[in-house]
Structure 1
């Protein structure tokens, strides 16, 4: 009786969603019923014949997760734990090691470590594979299971075994769990230049960038000669905060647009009047760990001719995820739109190409460690303009301007070459007028949408 009710409920739901107004729709409806019958047959067989008893909730949750996994890498079902974890991450405080990870071919792969966390201090890098936790192989498990194992009581140790492409032997590191209380924005002054590092796009990031600019001005007693906006290894976050950060540096014009399934389903976001930096030169630093909200900011400042983008090609996540609550404790994270820069570019797959490519030659592994991006993920959304651009291959090409060894850099006291190069460039830009933004637009308020 229970299974009959479940079958009827699913069928009624399908009937409500598929109006039978034409023969084609009626045929599609019939196909859906047949598929649902097949699903229920499998469901019943597993319940009755599987070697161990398994509860209905586990089977249904697995079916939902499998359905969403067939769409793209960023759509997922959030159970009670996942939903709570997402909320704490966007609020800027959670327990763990400070890693942003994904699942690739049943292996846990690092997207980026968060600065000033145990993972960052241990030298874990984007593209690393985590194979064992406390000596236990985690290959073949779920991403949720791996994340839960990495989290735990602050102060307790955990050993990670890491495989890094380009290295012959695995790396073993022991980390001590901490409460990860992320301060999304940090600032410093280097050679009369304001350096603003955005670690994540969580609540209040835009306001914190404004505060950082004011603090830089106060520390110098005047305005700096320019700003470096450091978005490296920033995996993204909230769309409205990306809009807010972009607005800090823009006087006017479009920041980003998002476009859904329907042709007319377009939402545009515009800058409000007032550039907090009063037109000072800006360099935006990005790398292959800069994703999503980071790419929105970099693309907006690049297209508006407001900032020079420097570093390495970004991750290439050009999709927007909307959080759809299903209950008080569960939700659906669903890809609902693609976003586009002011000039109409989609960064999906291809990412943001820097105006000046500057490799991180102070990283001893930069030559041997492969670059990991959205295009490497299974079932990633395909760019409407195929991302087979030959310039994607430029990442591996040597640039004779950057031929110094790590030893030579150390002698010069340079431990972060990209940042050093950016500050040197700002010094030259300070005497060059910044072109005004070419695009003007109507002011508008941003709608908060999760885009992690």
Structure 2
């Protein structure tokens, strides 16, 4: 989940920024603070000494800007898996992506054990059409090992001119050897919301949360009302499976679309201005009709906010498998002409005050997909946030439970989760968790 920020920084060079900060400390904290200041100066001197030694003695002439960029990125990635540095090009690419259009293959990725892990392929993109799956490990790009790259370098290599090919080497759990997949790059225009009528039921699929998501959702709901008939709709299915997340404000707007009142989400960080609560406004776009939300092991971040809000407010029944468990907020902090940093600044909490960091959202009704025979030895459960090296722990403890099945059959008739949701809304099936007990909603 991303929060945008426009901050005026007191300097963009590491040494200058630190110096400005440190000159203020001794006047504020007497005594033992001087030792901490002195130690910090020594560490900054260490950085300068190593930097100069590399510049003067390395076997080849290094690029100064690349050294600084690597040092800054190393500092950020040591904090947690979701903090990183973006150079000007990466920052521009990120801005394009959050607007809902970008160039590349169409996969959401993270770094794990020195290789790139696929969090989720984006619907109707070259990667999805080529058969890339959530949980796949990308070990090489055009024959070059990923272990020689950081995440930003790997992403940059996957992007490129439209209609140019790239060979992606995949290691998939259950396969004996890595295998190559040739993918042709394209302009990725993400239509984050898709919809269709399932009889008298409105099906809404959100694949990511970009700047167009809420508008797309509203338009989709209006179309379903027109196609089915406002009074004939029995309910809605909101499909958030394999949705890797996106913008915080869009998660709030989407949740608000189904609620009349009550808390949606709260955030808590180190500083008071990071402690915020977001509430729903009157105006349920679905007119109070029953809602079932589908989630799985690939549902992360913003999609978990929506699922958690609708679950705690007893507005919807959550069906599927446990979600990914990414319960942290990243703020994008621009650095002028030097790009930006993506910094984890807060944790988010569902209306009941629960953090899902490294835990995930547990469904009200657990439904595991049936795997076809040819995939039973090739597809395993995703491991989730708790498996990522350096992940933030859950303040309540017990963060080893995230991760679950993330497989979704290509055909709706074979989709066990979807078919059970349809059966519940049609009244052909029954479950104690549907509809939810509105009287048990979180007090607000």
TM-score by structure 2 length? 0.89
Partner of 2:325: 316
Select which of 7, 10, 22 maps to 1:15.
Answer: 22
Assess, with a 3 A threshold, how the Cα gap between structure 1 residues 67 and 123 changes in structure 2: closer, same or farther: same
How do 1:50-449 residues align onto structure 2 when only pairs under 5 Å count? 50-223=58-231, 224-262=233-271, 265-328=274-337, 330-362=339-371, 365=375, 368-388=379-399, 392=401, 414-428=413-427, 435-436=437-438, 438-439=441-442, 441=444
- What SS does the aligned partner of 1:288 have? coil
Structure 1: 5+ residue stretches without partners: 1-5, 397-405, 442-452
When structure 1 is superposed on structure 2, of 62-71 and 421-430 the one drifting more is: 421-430
Change (3 A) 1:256 1:11: closer
Q: Is the 8 A contact 2:91 2:339 kept in 1?
A: yes
Cα distance, 1:265 vs. partner?
4.8
Secondary structure at the aligned position of 1:189 is classed as strand
Contact 1:99 1:112 (C-alpha < 8 Å) held by counterparts: yes
Alpha-carbon RMSD across the aligned residues, in angstroms, is 2.5
User: SS in structure 2 opposite 1:414?
Assistant: helix
Q: Supply the distance in 2 between the matched residues of 1:264 and 1:140 (Cα, whole angstroms).
A: 39
Go from structure 1 to structure 2 and tell me whether the alpha carbon gap of 1:302 and 1:33 turns closer, same or farther (over 3 Å shift): same
| Deviation (angstroms), 1:338 | 0.3
Structure 1 segments of 4+ aligned residues over 6 angstroms from their partners: 429-433
- Could you give the per-residue CA deviations for residues 42-94 of structure 1, whole angstroms, max 9, x where no partner exists? 11211111111113222211111111011111111110111011101100001
CA 1:363 to 1:93, structure 2 compared with 1: closer, same or farther past 3 Å?
A: farther
CA contact (8 A) 1:252 1:439 kept: no
Aligned residue for 1:249, secondary structure, equals coil
Deviations along 1:394-414, one digit per CA (max 9) or x if unpaired, are 958xxxxxxxxx9xx98xx82
1:31 corresponds to 2:42: no
Q: Is the 8 A contact 1:246 1:297 kept in 2?
A: yes
8 A contact 2:330–2:342 mirrored in 1: yes
Measure, in 2, the Cα distance between the counterparts of 1:144 and 1:265: 27
